[in-house]
Structure 1
Amino acid sequence: ATVQAAAPHQRARGRRGPGLVVRRDDLRQASREGRESNLVLFVVDASGSMAARQRMGAVKGAVLSLLLDAYQRRDKVGLVTFRGSAADVALPPTSSVDAAAARLESLPTGGRTPLAAGLLKAHDVLRVERLRDPARRP
């Protein structure tokens, strides 16, 4: 790239002989742009109403589907569930489909809906992941 930047100006720079006249503003540096990776964190209500409507199967399917798509892009997918009086990290952020399938096999449901606890737990997970990999977009 440096040679391409300098070549068109050789006559104006008074070049004599086989070499190129290269100035500071001709210098170019190659930069590699890596692929951006993302973090998708599901925050899911696992209370009794979810169990009654059998919606956890749809949640598991969505997480696994995203993981299959995310594998090539180096994305991560995680899952925070909340029920009863607390929230849990049911699936720590991962890019492993096998690990996710094993962790998602049996997600407990039932109890009340502590939405605030779920959102706070999600915030904690995102904060930790931001420290681990500042380039990853949540």
Structure 2
Amino acid sequence: TVQAAAPHQRARGRSGPGLVVRRDDLRQASREGREGNLVLFVVDASGSMAARQRMSAVKGAVLSLLLDAYQRRDKVGLVTFRGSAADVALPPTSSVDAAAVRLESLPTGGRTPLAAGLL
């Protein structure tokens, strides 16, 4: 505010100590919050989709994203669907260690419950 008002003091007829401050001189600091993103993988883990190879690729992708996500405050989650239901294999997290433990063994096989996976 002071920096914006100072150059105009002669034109505003200032006499004596102090500054003549007008409304358009007022400045206010504002902070922008950085919100993270949520990346949610929804993967068909049924037997018909060669799911074991896919799960290996998904684990790698999730862990890779989490390694990069810390500074951006991103979170990554994983939902798998197979058999008769969908399961939240990894709730949204930003922890690489927690993800590695939860993704250690992901069951595959069975039929494809697409509606449950979408729901």
Considering only CA atoms, is the larger Rg found in Structure 1 or Structure 2?
2
Secondary structure of the structure 1 residue equivalent to 2:39: strand
- Structure 1 residues 28 and 52, CA, compared in 2 at 3 Å: closer, same or farther? closer
- Structure 1 residues 116 and 96, CA, compared in 2 at 3 Å: closer, same or farther? same
What displacement does 1:17 show? 2.3
Mapped to 1, the partners of 2:51 and 2:17 lie a distance apart of: 82
Mapped to 2, the partners of 1:119 and 1:28 lie a distance apart of: 49
Would you say the 8 A contact 2:6–2:19 is kept in 1? yes
Would you say the 8 A contact 1:50–1:109 is kept in 2? no
Q: Higher helix share goes to which structure?
A: 1
Structure 1 residue ranges without an equivalent (≥5): 121-138
The root-mean-square deviation of aligned C-alpha atoms, in Å, is 1.4
Aligned pair count reads 119
What displacement does 1:117 show? 1.2
User: Greater CA deviation, 15-24 or 64-73?
Assistant: 15-24
1:105-120 equivalent positions in 2, closer than 5 A: 105-120=104-119
Mapped to 1, the partners of 2:51 and 2:82 lie a distance apart of: 13
What displacement does 1:8 show? 2.4
Aligned to 1:55: 54
Query: Given the two structures, how large is their TM-score scaled by the length of structure 1?
Result: 0.80
Secondary structure of the structure 1 residue equivalent to 2:6: helix
Query: Given the two structures, how large is their TM-score scaled by the length of structure 2?
Result: 0.91
Deviations 1:4-36 (A, max 9, x none): 221222122111123211122211110111223
Mapped to 1, the partners of 2:65 and 2:81 lie a distance apart of: 21
Deviations 1:28-54 (A, max 9, x none): 110111223111111111111344662
- Structure 1 residues 96 and 112, CA, compared in 2 at 3 Å: closer, same or farther? same
Identity of aligned residues (%): 97
**Deviation beyond 4 Å, 4+ runs, structure 1:** none
Mapped to 1, the partners of 2:26 and 2:115 lie a distance apart of: 54
Structure 2 residue ranges without an equivalent (≥5): none
